Amino acid sequence: MARIIVVTSGKGGVGKTTTSAAVATGLAMAGHKTAVIDFDVGLRNLDLIMGCERRVVYDFVNVISGEANLNQALIKDKRVDNLCILPASQTRDKDALTQEGVERVLEELSQDFEYIICDSPAGIERGAMLAAYFADEAIVVANPEVSSVRDSDRVLGILASKTRRAERGDEPVRERLLLARYSPQRVERGEMLSVEDVQEILAVELLGVIPESKAVLQASNAGVPVIMEDSTDAGQAYQDAVARFLGEERPHRFLVEKKGFLGRLFGS
């Protein structure tokens, strides 16, 4: 049985897709068979970030509606073994997703994969609810600002009450926070919430802090999940997060202001 992990946030544009791509790639690189599904029907972009947009033939909605089978729609990643992408449809709308359809696809994927990552759309409407409904674990992505934290709080409430686990009274969805686009300088200037502030409000385990980094945009323009860019701060922060996800203990880096050029040159 696969572990189903939803990457969700409430607020849009906080880094869910970036995180889904990084975590899925990281888990696959660690040797776990992983599938990542784009639930953002109508606005697909996971395939862009994963660099496989030219290889999309069938999508998630085609599989749900029976126009294609799963093997036809799954795209095998070219760089990393053990990794497959199930892209969203660009042309259909969110109503094309049904709970039964999603359940069927997840069940079928569960036979072959260890981890299934669900990249949720923003908001708390149908698409987001379906992405979260079957989850065993959640990675809640937030940016260090009040509105994003508020939305994450709302989403945590939904995970605790509107998921299959909650409805069945099973063990609750395991919730972890990923704080993305963190800028220590801006925290210092009081323009952003600090990690401590956010943790105080959300009271949830911290999976990682991803620094605000140019490397993210560069990587996504190149169609390479940023976790594969070993030399970048964001790449390393995602590597730490995946290691923690798999149970390793690692200290949080990137919480204090970046070192100058010399500092970086001489490492540490």
Which single residue is written with the structure tokens 């409805």? Answer: 167
Handedness of CA 185, 188, 192, 193 (dihedral sign): positive
Residue 47's binding partner, choosing from other proteins, Mg ion, ligand ATP, none, with beta-carbon cut-off 5 to 8 A by kind? none
Run of H or E residues at 34: strand 34-38
> Which x/- pattern over 69-108 shows residues binding other proteins (rule: CB under 8 A)?
----------------------------------------
Residue 234's binding partner, choosing from Mg ion, ligand ATP, other proteins, none, with beta-carbon cut-off 5 to 8 A by kind? ligand ATP
The residue (of 165 and 220) whose beta carbon lies closer to Mg ion is 220
Q: 235 among the known binding-site residues?
A: no
Which single residue is written with the structure tokens 């784009």? Answer: 38
Work out how close the CB of 69 gets to other proteins at its nearest, in angstroms, rounded to a whole number.
Answer: 37
Handedness of CA 228, 234, 237, 241 (dihedral sign): negative
Q: How far apart are CA 133 and CA 4, in angstroms?
A: 10
Question: Token pair of 172, please?
Answer: 């609750």
Residue 12's binding partner, choosing from ligand ATP, Mg ion, other proteins, none, with beta-carbon cut-off 5 to 8 A by kind? ligand ATP
Q: What does the longest C-alpha to C-alpha distance in the chain come to?
A: 58
Does residue 12 belong to the site contacting other proteins (CB under 8 A)? Answer: no
Work out how close the CB of 60 gets to ligand ATP at its nearest, in angstroms, rounded to a whole number.
Answer: 15
Size of the site for other proteins (CB under 8 A): 16
Contacting range for other proteins; rule: CB under 8 A; set: 1-9, 113-121, 152-160, 180-188: 152-160
Q: How far is CA 63 from the centre of its chain?
A: 22
Q: Are 75 and 47 in contact (CB under 8 A)?
A: yes
Q: 258 among the known binding-site residues?
A: no
Q: How far apart are CA 163 and CA 246, in angstroms?
A: 23
Contacting range for other proteins; rule: CB under 8 A; set: 32-40, 196-204, 244-252, 257-265: 196-204
Does residue 176 belong to the site contacting other proteins (CB under 8 A)? Answer: no
Q: Are 152 and 117 in contact (CB under 8 A)?
A: no
Does residue 161 belong to the site contacting other proteins (CB under 8 A)? Answer: yes
Does residue 9 belong to the site contacting Mg ion (CB under 5 A)? Answer: no
Which residues contribute to the site for ligand ATP (CB under 6 A)?
A: 9, 12-18, 40, 121-122, 180-181, 210, 212-213, 216-217, 220, 234
Q: State the virtual CA torsion across 53, 56, 60, 64 in degrees, nearest 10.
A: 170
Binding-site residues for ATP: 11-18
Could you list the residues known to form a binding site, using ranges: 11-18
